[in-house]
Amino acid sequence: MNTEAPDELVITRIFDAPRELVYRAFVDPDQLAQWFGPVGFVVPRDTVAVDARVGGYQRLVMVNADDPSFRSPVDATFVEVVENELLVGEQQAKGVPGFDGTLTLRLRLEFHAEPGGKTRLELRQGPYPGSLAADARQGWLSSFTKLDDLLAPAVG
């Protein structure tokens, strides 16, 4: 049963690519810089660092393309990692619209192989204060459109 707490974000998304490729897009700094962040934001490659192991990290800075002075750094520590299957991290995010200070979140990403070489991604993130989960959902869905574009050449 896929239940969502009021302060938790849950997204299930099917990608038209094998799970190894989808997983890699989350842990390879070159790929992460190409798709992460909603449309209207960029992630400069020199801000991305990933060490995909328990105790390792994922760090990056999202920069608003229209106003580069608006930056949103993300700093996560991995607490569970199963290559090509699972990433769980504790995140510290600053510069989140509608929230002053540092937001601490837990992110769980499960990568499931689906028939036809597709991948079902199950994302859980939270807890979110107030209505920020709805904004985060829009941000992830927007980011995933960029990820679809990145993965398209791999399956075409």
Residue 148 or residue 101, greater confidence: 148
CA-closest candidate to residue 9, choices 100, 82, 91? 91
Give the pair of three-digit tokens for residue 145: 């459109």
On whether residue 50 sits in a domain, the answer given is yes
Task: For residue 42, give its domain range.
Answer: 9-155
On whether residue 3 sits in a domain, the answer given is no
On whether residue 1 sits in a domain, the answer given is no
On whether residue 139 sits in a domain, the answer given is yes
The pLDDT, as a whole number, for residue 97 is 66
**Burial of 39 (C-beta count, 10 Å sphere; 0-12/13-18/19+):** exposed
On whether residue 4 sits in a domain, the answer given is no
On whether residue 2 sits in a domain, the answer given is no
From CA 26, how far away is CA 109, in angstroms rounded? 10
Look up the CATH number of the domain holding residue 19: 3.30.530.20
Q: Does the structure show a pLDDT above 60 at 29?
A: yes
Number of structural domains the chain divides into = 1
On whether residue 93 sits in a domain, the answer given is yes
Each residue of 115-152: pLDDT tens digit? 999 999 999 999 988 778 888 899 999 999 999 999 99
